[in-house]
Amino acid sequence: MRAGVLIGATILSCAFATSVYAEGNAAAGAIFFKGRCATCHTAAKGAGNKIGPNLFGVFGRRAAAVPDYNYSAAMKASGIVWTMDRLKPYLTNPRGVLPGTKMTFAGIRKDEDNANTIAYLATLK
Ligand code: HEC
C-alpha cells in the first residue's frame, strides 16, 4: 500500500516535471536570457566568455567544460552534467545549490521563466 502510494506519487511528479518542461517556450526563454543572463553570458557558437562562460552547447554537457574559462573550484569539482534536473535548481538558486560558485546571480523565481530558459538553452547546439 505504502509502496503503491509512493510509486503513484513518483509517477505523478514525473508527469508534472515533464509537462512543465514540455511547455517550456524557447522563444520566451530567449527573451528572458537577453534580459537576465546576457550581461554575463554569450550564447552564440564561438562567442567569447564574459563574466561567465559562453553557453553554446551547455545543455547535456558536463559542468566547467569551456576550456578557456576560469571556473570556480566548486564548479570544477561539482561533477554536474547540465540536464534539466540539474539546471533547474542551479538556475533557481545558484549559490544555494552550489556553494562557492562564481555565478553571482540571485536566481530565477518563476518556474515558468526557468522552464523557458532551459528550453532556450537546449536549442543552443
Ligand atoms: C552576474 C553574472 C551572471 C549572470 C547574470 C548569470 N550568470 Fe551564469 N554564470 C556566471 C558565472 C561567473 C559562471 C561560472 C560559475 C563558476 O565557475 O562557479 C556561470 C555559470 C553558468 C552555467 C554553468 C556553465 C558551465 O559551463 O558549466 C550555466 C548553465 C549558467 N551560468 C546559466 C545562466 C543562465 C541561464 C543565466 C540567466 C538566467 C545566468 N547564468 C546568469 C555568471 C552569471
CB hemisphere CA count around 4 (13 angstroms): 1
Q: What's residue 71's pLDDT?
A: 98
CA of 68 to the centre of ligand 1 (A): 15
Per-residue confidence (pLDDT) for residue 57, from 0 to 100? 98
For 113-123, the pLDDT digits (tens) are 999 999 999 99
Reduced to 3 states, what is the DSSP secondary structure of residue 81?
strand
Instruction: Match 566548486 to its residue by C-alpha cell.
Output: 74
pLDDT in tens, 49-86: 999 999 999 999 999 999 999 999 999 999 999 999 99
pLDDT digits (tens, 9 = 90+) for 6-33: 555 544 444 444 444 456 999 999 999 9
1-6, long-range: CB < 8 A, 24+ apart: none
Q: Which of 32, 33, 39, 40 to mutate to test ligand 1, by most ligand atoms within 8 A of the CB atom?
A: 40
Global pTM?
A: 0.87
CA distance 104 to 4: 42
Best residue among 62, 103, 109, 117 to mutate for probing ligand 1, ranked by most atoms within 8 Å of CB: 103
Q: Looking at residue 65, what DSSP letter applies?
A: -
As a dihedral over the C-alpha atoms of residue 65, residue 41, residue 56, residue 117, rounded to 10 degrees, the angle is: 110
**Ligand 1 and 63: CB distance under 6 A:** yes
In this predicted structure, what is the pLDDT of residue 2? 57
* 32-47: pLDDT as tens digits: 999 999 999 999 999 9
Domain 2-121 grouped into CATH 3.90.230.10: no
* 104 pocket-lining for ligand 1 (C-beta < 6 Å): yes
Assess whether the C-beta atom of 41 lies below 6 angstroms from ligand 1: yes
Q: Residue ranges per domain, the chain?
A: 2-121
